[in-house]
Amino acid sequence: MNTRIEIANLQKRYGRKVVIQDMDLILESGKVYGLLGPNGQGKTTLIKCIAGLLTPEKGQILINGEMRETRHKGMISMLADKDLFYKWMTVQDTINFYDTFFEDFDRADSEELIRFMELVPQEKVEKLSKGMKARLKLVLVLSRKAKIYLLDEPLSGIDPVSREKIVETILDRIREDAIMVISSHMVHAIESLLDEVILLSNGKIIAKEEAEVIRSEKGISIDDYYLEVFRHA
């Protein structure tokens, strides 16, 4: 079944600071969206609103035509910037944890991904390097057969080898019945993954374009497009 997210008139504030203002956005399954913009433009806030981790002051988020509720959390697999592991956990423990917690967790797939990412099941999560930890987080998030994947900065601070592995894994897990949103300011690294590009500035969408349209009509890469837009923003 197809999935559709409709965001209308969304507003989110932190105290007096408006982080998202009057945002309208439609996201459809089978597509990979790049949520792009410099730091502090509202990327993470928007993702958290969709995930239900933040409650907006105004506007609505509809998932398949229904108001976003707690039960929709089962459809959403999110990669957060924070680590959610206990210190005593091994790689295997995190897998077991996710497996018991999430109904849609595909254990066989997680084992394949662990191998591909060259993670050692017995290793303590605490001892993992930043790159390896990022790999593990992605394994957990993508092993769920969710309808909506929200990947917040999956590549920031990651070495090139891990980056390539992560991009390849994301690519392999793109499904026709799922929505994928990837936020990043490392535009170059995710360029070939994207169907659509959403540029955020000051809590507003300043551009939404198909990736191939940018290349064919403007004759420039998304990376250059990004620079062009934000240099004048």
Partner 1 sequence: MKFDNNRPIYLQIISEIHKDLASGRLVSGQKLPSVRQLAIDYKVNPNTIQRTFRELEGMGMTFTKRGMGTFITEDAEMIEEIKISVPMKRLLKLYRNDWEV
Enumerate binding residues for partner 1 (CB under 8 A).
30-32, 167-168, 171-172, 174, 188, 191-195, 212, 215-216, 219-224
Judged by beta carbon, residue 153 or residue 191, the one nearer partner 1 is: 191
Judged by beta carbon, residue 161 or residue 220, the one nearer partner 1 is: 220
- Tell me which residue of 112, 108, 107 sits closest to 96, measured CA to CA: 107
Say how far apart CA 154 and CA 135 lie, in whole Å: 9
The one-letter amino acid code at 175 reads: R
Judged by beta carbon, residue 130 or residue 188, the one nearer partner 1 is: 188
Say how far apart CA 66 and CA 63 lie, in whole Å: 5
Judged by beta carbon, residue 83 or residue 212, the one nearer partner 1 is: 212
Q: What are the φ/ψ torsions at residue 34 (nearest 5 degrees)? A: -100, 115
Q: For the CB of residue 4, give the shortest distance to partner 1 in the complex, in Å.
A: 17
Q: For the CB of residue 218, give the shortest distance to partner 1 in the complex, in Å.
A: 9
Q: For the CB of residue 230, give the shortest distance to partner 1 in the complex, in Å.
A: 17
- Cα 149-153-158 angle, rounded to 5 deg: 125
Q: For the CB of residue 175, give the shortest distance to partner 1 in the complex, in Å.
A: 9
Judged by beta carbon, residue 79 or residue 167, the one nearer partner 1 is: 167
Q: For the CB of residue 216, give the shortest distance to partner 1 in the complex, in Å.
A: 4
Say how far apart CA 31 and CA 19 lie, in whole Å: 26
Say how far apart CA 190 and CA 141 lie, in whole Å: 18
Say how far apart CA 189 and CA 11 lie, in whole Å: 30
